[in-house]
């Protein structure tokens, strides 16, 4: 009995001593000054405080150029941008596809190790272009390889701080005979000479347009249309813009009165009702920008989106408006956008009218698909 009581007393004393020691250690730790300043992490771009997020956006996009021993291949084949030459994700080259592979798999002609991410290459004139990220130098790297053997031809790098956020690199370059155009993860746009990699111009959309960097970085792939870089900065004042690839000068801009933000979507050129336009799905709505008369392109169609990036409309007969799933078929998409009350003179448009869930708009009317 005495032994049990003594054990309990000893255990109590030990616990009290341990607690006192922990309290003293905690007080000393709180009283000491840390070797480095610590900032509070607040919601902001990429999960960091607003000041820290914007402080390292500005960079010298003229960067560093390196030449290597690779030579452009004398081989056919082209995939000059996101979704291919005709934006339909179809390779139209006349190649017979194999029905089977050997057990060892298809023959690998060449391979190149790249940084972590989701970027994909563009191919034109015997060259392969990819926007890589070099973690050792902390730089975006626009790299050009030979299509024949994978030897690097040239590289253009510029410093930018990126941390892993579901990968690093994101987008696909746009390439013509004259230019290669890229958008980096943190909204940096760079235009280079397609043959030599010589720097033409660059712009930080966050600095120039006040773009809000999307969570998980931007996934917008650029396009070049008749020598113009077509971009969607979706800043407070500018929704879409066109920049001359030769000079870097702004050719036209589309205002952003609704204050829509940049999404992970890319601009797609489309033709509806005889009007060629650039269609973009921003955070807030879908817009079509094109010409109906002479002059700079204007907003010819606009549809608001609620609750994310799902096309929204009020359900006929529903007590409360709610997001509907509207199937947009290629042959009908023009009618969807064309039926939202566009005012040609003002370039404005009202929201989509009532449609039922799983219905498709055709000629301004809803029907069951």
User: Does residue 59 surpass a pLDDT of 90?
Assistant: no
Mean pLDDT of 225-229: 95
Evaluate whether residue 255 is within a structural domain.
no
For residues 132, 135, 138, 141, the Cα torsion angle rounded to the nearest 10 degrees is -20
User: Does residue 268 surpass a pLDDT of 50?
Assistant: yes
Q: Look up the CATH number of the domain holding residue 60.
A: 2.40.10.480
Greatest pairwise CA separation for the chain in angstroms: 103
pLDDT number for residue 271? 84
Evaluate whether residue 125 is within a structural domain.
yes
Q: Which of 7, 152, 156, 147 is nearest to 77 (CA)?
A: 147
Evaluate whether residue 285 is within a structural domain.
no
Higher pLDDT, 253 or 364: 253
pLDDT in tens, 2-49: 566 666 767 778 778 788 888 877 777 777 766 656 555 554 444 444
In degrees rounded to 5, what are phi and psi of residue 157? -125, 150
d(CA 144, CA 200): 16
pLDDT number for residue 25? 78
DSSP assigned state of 117: B
pLDDT in tens, 236-253: 999 999 999 999 999 999
pLDDT in tens, 105-146: 988 999 999 999 889 999 999 999 999 999 999 999 999 999
Evaluate whether residue 243 is within a structural domain.
no
pLDDT number for residue 241? 95
Evaluate whether residue 41 is within a structural domain.
no
pLDDT number for residue 308? 39
pLDDT in tens, 271-292: 877 788 899 999 988 888 887 6
Boundaries of domain holding 122: 47-92+110-218
pLDDT number for residue 294? 64
Higher pLDDT, 322 or 208: 208
Q: Are strands 174-175 and 152-159 parallel, antiparallel or unpaired?
A: unpaired
Mean pLDDT of 213-233: 94
Look at the chain and report how many structural domains it folds into.
1
Evaluate whether residue 183 is within a structural domain.
yes
Mean pLDDT of 163-178: 92
Q: Across the chain, what does the average pLDDT equal?
A: 77
Evaluate whether residue 326 is within a structural domain.
no
What percent of the chain has pLDDT above 70? 69
* Count helices and strands in the chain by DSSP H and E runs: 4, 19
Evaluate whether residue 135 is within a structural domain.
yes
Highest mean pLDDT among 91-100, 223-232, 312-321: 223-232
Mean pLDDT of 323-335: 36
**Residue 225 near residue 257 (C-beta atoms within 8 A):** no
């Amino acid at each position: 009995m005495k032994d049990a009581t003594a054990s309990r007393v000893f255990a109590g004393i030990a616990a009290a001593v341990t607690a006192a020691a922990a309290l003293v250690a905690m007080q000393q730790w709180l009283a000491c000054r840390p070797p480095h300043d610590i900032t509070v992490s607040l919601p902001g771009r990429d999960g960091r405080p607003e000041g820290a997020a914007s402080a390292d956006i500005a960079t010298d996009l003229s960067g560093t150029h390196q030449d290597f021993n690779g030579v452009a291949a004398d081989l056919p084949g082209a995939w000059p941008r996101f979704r291919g030459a005709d934006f339909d994700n179809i390779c139209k080259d006349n190649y017979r596809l194999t029905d089977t592979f050997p057990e060892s798999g298809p023959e690998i002609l060449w391979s190149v190790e790249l940084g972590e991410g989701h970027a994909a290459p563009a191919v034109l004139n015997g060259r392969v272009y990819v926007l890589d990220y070099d973690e050792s130098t902390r730089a975006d790297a626009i790299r050009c390889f030979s299509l024949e053997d994978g030897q690097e031809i040239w590289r253009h790098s510029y410093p930018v701080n990126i941390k892993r956020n579901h990968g690093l690199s994101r987008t696909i370059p746009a390439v013509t005979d004259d230019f290669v155009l890229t958008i980096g993860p943190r909204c940096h746009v760079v235009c280079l000479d397609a043959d030599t990699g010589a720097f033409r111009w660059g712009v930080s959309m966050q600095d120039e347009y006040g773009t809000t960097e999307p969570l998980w970085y931007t996934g917008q792939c650029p396009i070049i249309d008749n020598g113009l870089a077509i971009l969607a900065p979706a800043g407070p004042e500018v929704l879409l813009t066109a920049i001359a690839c030769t000079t870097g000068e702004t050719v036209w801009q589309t205002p952003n009165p609704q204050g829509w933000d940049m999404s992970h979507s890319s601009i797609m050129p489309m033709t509806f009702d005889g009007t060629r336009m650039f269609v973009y799905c921003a955070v807030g709505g879908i817009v079509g920008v094109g010409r109906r008369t002479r002059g700079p392109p204007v907003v010819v169609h606009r549809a608001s989106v609620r609750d994310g990036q799902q096309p929204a409309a009020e359900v006929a007969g529903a007590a409360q408006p709610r997001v509907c799933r509207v199937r947009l078929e290629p042959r009908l998409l023009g009618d969807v956008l064309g039926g939202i009350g566009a005012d040609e003179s003002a370039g404005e448009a009202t929201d989509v009218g009532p449609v039922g869930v799983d219905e498709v708009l055709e000629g301004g009317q809803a029907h069951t698909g």
